[in-house]
Amino acid sequence: LDNVFIEALPVLNKLNSAGFEAYFVGGSVRDALLNHEVNDVDIATSAFPNEVKKLFKKTIDVGIEHGTVLVLSGEHSYEITTFRTESTYQDFRRPDSVTFVRSLKEDLKRRDFTINALAMDGDGVIHDYFNGKEDLNSRLIKAVGIPDERFNEDALRMLRATRFAAQLDFEIDRHTTEAIKKHAALLSHIAIERIQIEFIKMLLGKSKNKGLLYFIKTNLYAYCPGLDKQGLEGLISIEKPFENEIQIWVSYLMCSTLMPTEVRGFLRSWKLSNKNIQDIETVYMTAHERLHKQISKETIYKVGKRLSLETENVLALLKYDSNRRLVEKFYNDLPIYSKKDLAISGKDLLKLTDQKAGIWLGDLLDRVEQAVLDQEIENDYSQILKWITANQLIPKQK
């Protein structure tokens, strides 16, 4: 039994002692059997949420309408979810109501894939009603039950199949693949936020190309906003795994048929955060600039170290010339990193004149900044003052 399970055992035991069934379920069991690192362990139980809350001192209602209670135990917290079935599916999305049941098998039946429908009890015994272990061994992603039905219930599962293929380097079972092909269009009923999460998890997977090939072959991509084959094939041609979202989106944009003017709308349609959109646009524009321009100190100053390095990363992924070390060197050699670093401030400048603060002051600071960056002068109070006076840049001396 993996350490993360042993740490969680007291929680299982407490439920058991009170007469309830309780199991580790889902991704943690799958990952443990694959000898992968196990992150968060989820627990399923026959106890109803109010019964769970009575048993544990510290609980948080994180999704009580779905039967999930967060139990705080020592330094850890565990999501404990009551066995449930999802009876009413509307519009091919998650169910809007669930029914609590007392049977493990019923609970496992509503799960997406056989490898995710395994449960493990406190003795380490695996409860496998849907041949999940066999599919783990054959490295197969197979829907629990009839694939057509399962994807009609929740269309996101189709995308999750490609995500798990990419993360685990598994194939998708033939019948499951056929069903995805048939129902791909149902993906358009799913909120883009949920699609985005699975899409990014797929591309961060160690076998992203396996996922991408299914994603294209089953036509799922056609029901995601603005994706074109050329961009996706560009991603396939990248050999190294992606390290983060910025690399993914910029690489995609560099390969796709999207025009630069369409980029913002595209990123917005994926409902990325404003911060992400800004970073992605910056790296995208800097990478374009770098295709016909050497690395420049000006750009590094403007863009900052993190995004300048990310630009070089993307260029490297796409097999263009890149030079992270030169970026590091240029960055370290910069005399200042922002206006705030200037040895003279707006306040200092105001003391030298009768003029009130105004546009002139910002302009003057800009010129000082440029002179320091161009190493015309050093970032030194008296040198800057001398330079300002010599060039008669102060409006009216006191």
The binding site for ATP comprises: 27, 30, 111, 154, 157, 160, 163
Which of ligand ATP, Mg ion, none does 156 bind, CB closer than 5 to 8 A by kind? ligand ATP
Residue with tokens 């295709």, as numbered in its chain: 291
DSSP codes joined into one string, 260-293:
GGGHHHHHHHTT--HHHHHHHHHHHHHHHHHHSS
Cβ at position 131, least distance to ligand ATP in Å: 15
Instruction: Write out the residues near ligand ATP by the rule CB under 6 A.
Output: 26-27, 111-112, 116, 154, 156-157
Cβ at position 193, least distance to ligand ATP in Å: 14
What does each C-alpha distance from 217 to 36, 188, 197, 276 come to in angstroms?
28, 17, 20, 29
Cβ at position 181, least distance to ligand ATP in Å: 19
Closer to ligand ATP by CB, 3 or 392: give it: 3
Closer to Mg ion by CB, 167 or 286: give it: 167
Residue with tokens 């002068």, as numbered in its chain: 377
By beta carbon distance, the residue nearest ligand ATP is 27
Half-sphere exposure of 351 (CA within 13 A, CB side): 6
Closer to Mg ion by CB, 27 or 67: give it: 27
Does 27 engage in binding with Mg ion (CB under 5 A)? Answer: yes
Contact pattern for Mg ion over residues 73 through 112, marking x by CB under 5 A: ----------------------------------------
Query: What is d(CA 121, CA 297) in angstroms, rounded to the nearest whole number?
Result: 59
Cβ at position 56, least distance to ligand ATP in Å: 21
Cβ at position 28, least distance to Mg ion in Å: 7
Does 231 engage in binding with Mg ion (CB under 5 A)? Answer: no
Closer to ligand ATP by CB, 59 or 167: give it: 167
Three-class SS state of 18: coil
Q: Which residues are annotated as a binding site for Mg(2+)?
A: 40, 42
Cβ at position 24, least distance to ligand ATP in Å: 11
Closer to ligand ATP by CB, 136 or 255: give it: 136
Nearest Cα to Cα of residue 167 among 212, 221, 204, 117: 204
Number of Cβ within 10 Å of residue 265's Cβ equals 11
- CA angle (211, 234, 288) in 5-degree steps: 135
What does each C-alpha distance from 325 to 89, 184, 239, 250 come to in angstroms?
54, 45, 22, 21
Structure tokens at 29: 């069991």
Q: Which stretch binds Mg ion (CB under 5 A): 24-32, 61-69, 116-124, 165-173?
A: 24-32
